Amino acid sequence: MDRRVVITGVGLVSAVGLDAAESWRNLLVGKPGVATITHFDTTGFSATIAAEVKGFEPLNFMEKKDVKKMGRFIQLALAASQQAVKQSQLQITPEIADRVGVFIGSGIGGFDVIEREHTALMEGGPRRISPFFIPASIVNLASGQVSIRYGAKGPNSATCTACSSSAHALGDSFKLIQRCAADVMISGGSEAAITPLSVGGFASMRALSTRNSEPEKASRPFDKDRDGFVIGEGSGMLILEGLDFALKRGAPILAEIVGYGMSGDAFHITQPDENADGAVRAMRATHADAKILPEQVSYINAHGTSTPYNDRLETIAIKKVFGDHAYKIPVSSTKSMTGHLLGGAGGLEAGITVLALQDQIIPPTINLDNPDPDCDLDYVPNHARKAEMEYALSNSFGFGGTNAALLLKRYTG
């Protein structure tokens, strides 16, 4: 379990960029990715805004005949995986194929396919259902399609743990490599749930922002005037490798993953534990795993959803974990720009955290104009900030009280 695990590739597809470089540039200048929904007619919906991926062309990443075999979340995962594999310079040869695995999380999966095929059933009967319906929509086919694309024959799995899905996928991949069950894992998450049923469902729970007239200002974590999250789509994929394996093949090393924590609230189907106990235990577990002190953490990429409950309770959790040091740690929520990718959030935000460690720049929390008195930490409001960072934490908390935290470290050789 002492095997070191490093990150050698990052692929991002988000509402602020079609690749990691574009996404990172736009995050640093505080560009919002939220706009009026174009994926469907929002007439009658209380929430009409989302963080859509703009200009995404599946044919840039797959053959035309394959497009109909994959839901949008799978297409986005393939696009982000292609970026990450290319950056890592990974060549999956027959000699190493069974030591390379894939582990991708998604909270919703192919809702777009499910809704489309249900319409086909209702309008034309069962003979109108596509034979690709099931493999285009089930959650594990993101991992399946990526493994097929690259010939990765090692561990192949998927997580569906709501908004913690891809953080769990990355953490479990980290542990697979640590215990030598694999040498490389292509891991992260993907989500494409900006659909009528999904948006309507979250809106009926009153979970979504209805600041429809000002979409670019709707996602405002830790702000007193926040009124709900903004649903987003996209994918964040990372290449994780044993340090020994990465060094042997001369891979570019971007960062290390050194700690993983997971916990359950056992409290409520949607609301966080009112004492933030689950989030506290997940964060503390990363420190124990990495054998570091809380005071060594120098940045937190928060779950920061822009909902009244989450932002306040995450703040409470950070204070419990870090004590007085909590006021010295920069905390930011990039969901203020990317929206909330649900099960894909952890993968995207882990990738963003890698870039922050690399460049030693903290992305901002935009739209933080009127801070909530209960949220009184340093949330890096509205402008990116240069900082010296060695360890950075990425939090993901999900419905059902499922929590995950990842601790990353700047790689210095």
Catalytic residues: 163, 303, 340
Gap between the Cα atoms of 205 and 213, Å rounded = 21
How far is the C-alpha of 277 from the C-alpha of 43, rounded, in Å?
Answer: 40
Q: Which amino acid is at 189?
A: G
* Strands lying side by side in the sheet with 156-159: 156-159, 100-105, 184-191, 234-242, 5-13, 255-264, 402-410, 391-398, 297-301, 331-332
Nearest to 186 by CA among 18, 358, 17, 10: 10
Closest by alpha carbon to 277, among 317, 304, 323?
Answer: 317
Instruction: Give the CA radius of gyration of the chain.
Output: 20
- Please tell me the distance from the alpha carbon of residue 314 to that of residue 293, in angstroms, as a whole number: 20
> CA 332, CA 352: separation in Å to the nearest integer?
11
DSSP 8-state code for residue 253: P
Q: Which amino acid is at 293?
A: L
Helix, strand, coil share (%) of the chain residues, nearest 5: 40, 20, 40
Give yes or no for a contact between 333 and 396, defined as CB atoms under 8 angstroms apart.
no
CB 333 within 8 A of CB 306: yes
The first and second tokens of residue 302, run together, are 């928060």
Dist. CA 247–CA 240, nearest whole Å: 13
* Pair 160, 107: CB distance under 8 Å: yes
